[in-house]
Amino acid sequence: PTPVAIFFGEPGEVVSDPFFDGEGPERAGCIHCGGCMVGCRHNAKNTLDKNYLYFAEKWGAEIRAEANVLDIRPLYGPQPDNARYEVVYEHITDWFMKRKQVVRTRNVVVAGGVLGTVDLLLKCRDESGSLPKLSRRLGLRVRSNSEALIGVTARETAQDFSEGVAITSHFWVDEVTSVEPVRFPPGSSFMRTLMLPLESLKGKTTLAHFGHALWEGLKRPFDLLTVRVLPKWPEKNTVLLVMQTLDNRMSLRRGRSLWTLGFKGLVTHRDPDQPIPTVIETGRAILNRFADKVNGVPWVGMNELMNKPNTAHVLGGCGIGGNETEGVVDVNQQVFNYPGLYVADASVIPVNLGVNPSLTITAMTERAMAHIPQKVDAPPLEPLQKPEGLELVQRKDGRFLQKALPFIFALLPLSLLFLFKTFKRK
């Protein structure tokens, strides 16, 4: 068994806050529906909106949801309101011309997860030019927790695997590899569209994988249908999340690729010396043993067809160091060269943990925030000083073209249809 952030009272019974001396919101006892991974609908899971965000708002913070941060701009020299940064964001619910707003603030804490934080800071350094003094280590040493998402779909429905809590156990296979069984609730079957039976993936090249997958589908059609088509997939399925502490990594940068559809976005690069593995053989062995136990079809992700690793827990990219040549942030998670700018998410984690990282993120964030003085004890803030020789050049980031391309792609089929009908009439 493993500790989980769920309230186990009387199933479905609403009670006053059981965690924070009655100061938090009401909770309801878990009904063991298996929906923890896709979002608890029954007020039993201890999510951020019921602890940190709940108390932040209760104690005066304003939460602006449905917002996408575009830029962080330092304000050099004394300011009338003592602000040191401007944060520019847009409303993501606007369809066309998205409204933009600016917030002036003395300190900024970036906590957008690895993909959000690294992407935003890379934009600020390399595209808008607002934070040009960010470390060149930004985006390096990104890790996947050395994970593999695999699983088993039972051929029969004698046992309902969807009942219970999403994650209830965790065990170590060896010194570096751990495994977590995971379940999904009835109706949550989208993940199966990314899966293939394990036997389908043999060969050393992507082409060989595709060919073997087609052949195995013809040889064992029922197994293929069980994994990808037949009903009640969550009731028959168990995901095995395999994690390792091995030192492997990749890097992130802003660029264009087939996966970004030509738009500028985050692209990955494998480390040539310590690449992240696609296949974890230890996990495969556990997978086959579990499949034998439940008379099931072992499956793996279609990412293995293309020799691409996957993960549920991206780590790193804003490493901790002694100076800007060694890391992006210092030991208190403050960004080098930018006082008052902090990073507080998984992008500061320096290693593959081999376990779920949520508690590590929480502990590191609470430690970093503990080093920020409370308002009553805080010394006067010094204005940001513009570094010598720094010329602020606001680069054009091509946002007009970026906004126009979706409309171009949307109108293209209609234009072709119009031309086809025109020529057909002639």
Local structure of residue 376 (DSSP, 8 states): T
Instruction: Assess contact for 238 and 191: CB atoms under 8 A.
Output: no
Quick one: how far is CA 338 from the chain centroid?
25
206-219 and 221-228 helices cross at what angle (nearest 10)? 110
Instruction: Assess contact for 291 and 283: CB atoms under 8 A.
Output: no
Torsion of CA 419, 420, 422, 424, to 10 degrees: 160
What's the distance, Cα to Cα, between the start and end of the chain in Å?
A: 73
- In the sheet where 315-316 sits, what is the strand order? 265-270, 250-255, 142-143, 315-316
Local structure of residue 339 (DSSP, 8 states): T
Instruction: Assess contact for 282 and 174: CB atoms under 8 A.
Output: yes
> Among 42, 91, 313, 371, which one carries the catalytic annotation?
313
Instruction: Assess contact for 250 and 176: CB atoms under 8 A.
Output: no
H or E stretch at 406: helix 399-425
Q: Are strands 142-143 and 148-154 parallel, antiparallel or unpaired?
A: unpaired
The candidate with the shortest Cα–Cα distance to 110, out of 81, 137, 131, is: 131
Instruction: Assess contact for 145 and 415: CB atoms under 8 A.
Output: no
Q: Give backbone dihedrals phi and psi of 73, rounded to 5 degrees, phi first.
A: -115, 120
Q: DSSP labels for 288-328?
A: HHHHHHHTEEEEEEGGGGGT----S--EESS-B-SSTTT-S
Q: What per-residue string of b and e applies to 176-202 under the rule 16 or more CB within 10 Å gives b?
A: bbbbbbbbbbbebbebbeebbbbbbbe
User: Is 313 a catalytic site residue?
Assistant: yes
3-state secondary structure of 133: coil
Structure tokens at 343: 């990073």
Cite the active site residues.
313
